[in-house]
Chains A and B, each alone.
Chain A
Amino acid sequence: MTPRSWLASYPKSGNTWFRLIVANLDAEDDNSLATGSSGTPDLMASARAPFDDMLLLESGLLTHDECAALRPLFHRAELMQDGNGVFRQEAERPHSTKMGYRLTKTHDAWSYLPDGQPVLGGAQAAGNAILMVRDPRDIAPSLANHMGFSIDQAIDFMNDPDASLSGRRHEQTLQLRQLLMCWSEFNASWLDQTSIPVHCIRYEDMQEAPMAAMSAALAACGRAVDTERLRRAIERTSFDTLHKLEEESGFAEAYRGRRFFRRGVSGAWRDELTRGQVKRIERNHAAMMDRLGYEAAFYSEF
């Protein structure tokens, strides 16, 4: 099996929480929270530095499209290194890393280059994917906080078919451009691609029944899980713990000083969004909400 799983999600859908739980599966000490790779933006699929280092070029001299064209090559090559990070002609063997495979976070929609290749490199770059989804009505206020948007701007962004992260043309960020598309299209792109199997996990189910949701997701990436370890890892990464941790020492993925772990509550949209905002999100994303099991509050009205 290709020794990698993508952990894909639209931003603010619980990707980081998932990775923290995984990082804590291997933690020996019961009391401390292992943050593992979660605080390391370098380990995102779109990180610029590993891309430059693998391909020995300056991505800062390439356009976004030129970088995208090189990403399949890069993502496949990532799996062709020995334990010292030296390039090898043959692919990395599974179990050569501590976890036995890589779990790589990505906010990239599953998109294709003009020549038909998937930007993320297809089945040679990952064996499978976990797609984390969350109620878009809860994403909107969280995204607004994360990006410094008003809630209405966040709703517009979530409805923009051309939306991207790090996609500006006048500055260079630590990440390469990530094409997001709109919230519905993002999720559809992953659910409907046929290159690799995808397991969908809902943020709400992670909150409701974390043991069952995590066990199923980890099993989908071929990972056997010790129930007791998983229980401890989930306990260690409770939202209150993460919120407190961020208060004390900050969190690397926070955007321009804003809070990363904000509320983490499901259904909070009921007191954070106006009626009009709720309607707008539901109208924009009715079909995908329905597909993912999110019930519209104003369904009868459209």
Chain B
Amino acid sequence: MTGIQILPDTGKGLSHESEPSRFSHFYRACALNIASTISLPSLLDIDTRDALVDVTIVNGQVPDTLDIPQVTVGPNWELAESHFLLKIPNIGKFLIRDASRITFQPAPGLPPEELSAFLTGSVMGLLLHLRGALVLHGSAVKVGDGAVILCGPSGAGKSTLAAALGKRGYAMLCDDLSPLFEDPEHGMRVHPDGRRHKLWDNAVEALDLNARRGEGVRTQMHKFHVAPVATISHPLPVKALYELHKSDNGEIVSITRASLLDAAAIVRRNAYRPRIMRELGQQAAYFSGAARITQTSGIFVLRRAMNFDHLDQVLDCLEEQWATPAFPKAGNAK
């Protein structure tokens, strides 16, 4: 499978396999209906019990190796077409079959709940890549009638910024991965990732979100699920994409519009897992997807001081740009 299927998979769907009662938790995330044997507290409670299931998540035995030809063996993963095996020592093993059936096996002694954040994070992102979706590593919020995506590597401050914008009334679409699908009627749209925010406790404190704080993402970690102030359950067209950077000259905030050439490169390098794209040979399809986003959206680089003291100024700067008439095409970069 080397092509990108831009349309969401609305095919026949999986049956609830032989034992429908095994599944006790149902979610909708990234345009997929998910049935799981364990609770996934990262995901919002959207009951899709009666819908066709696209993805199943089951606690079971996972082999140490993919026993199929044409497999690429990485340091802790194996990849072959639509099958994927991920091994995280002392955490567990994750198997994706046919880009739709996920089996996970916790490391000895570890409760299955400890793996839920991995299932809805990396594993879901990998599954979307296997399905040929264009997946960006970014948070997304609703601005006007479209979506603004905030991209950057882990630690760049995506979730924090999205949660801070949530407090200013911008409904949340995605926390960490932004799946894009194109259809003839609506063009390229971001689909909700169905997540709660994942925030470190310093961000929860600084944003005064203690009241919305839920379970920890793992028992040992100071990182928590935080209920968004408001969410959107339908896809939105991409209005703008910002690549987040730390300012390196003491400047509090600046926004620069990317050149056409840079814009496509920004979209490509913010793929959720660029390696999977490379290993699957999807670059060409990603290239054309990136080009389509740049045609209709504004692509910007946002540099800002990465501390909570200046967060309000960063938000003000963004809001000012969004208020510009004809944004994103004509919105001034600051």
A interface residue numbers (CB < 8 A to B): 39, 48-49, 52-63, 66, 69-70, 73-74, 76-77, 80, 84-87, 89, 169-175, 246, 249-254, 256-258
Contacts and interface: CB of A to CB of B under 8 A. Distances in A.
A254 B248 contact: yes
A267 to B, nearest CB: 28
Contacts of A86: 278-279
A56 B250 contact: no
Interface of B: 72-77, 86, 88-91, 117-118, 121-122, 126, 153-156, 198, 200-203, 217-218, 220-223, 246-251, 273-276, 278-279, 305-307
Nearest to B307: A256
Contacts of B246: 174
A61 B225 CA distance: 12
A251 B278 CA distance: 31
Contact of A87 (B72, B88, B155, B274): B72
A61 B153 contact: no
Contacts, number: 123
A89 B307 CA distance: 42
B275 A54 contact: yes
Contact of A171 (B202, B251, B305): B202
A257 B222 contact: no
Contact of B247 (A56, A69, A87, A250): A250
Residue in A73, A170, A254 with the greatest tally of chain B CB atoms within 10 Å: A170
A69 B246 CA distance: 28
A258 to B, nearest CB: 8
A52 B77 contact: no
30 contacts: A48-B155, A54-B75, A55-B75, A55-B76, A56-B74, A56-B76, A56-B126, A57-B76, A57-B86, A57-B122, A58-B121, A60-B154, A60-B223, A62-B91, A69-B90, A70-B88, A73-B75, A74-B75, A85-B274, A86-B278, A170-B200, A172-B155, A174-B153, A174-B156, A174-B246, A249-B249, A250-B248, A253-B248, A257-B250, A257-B251
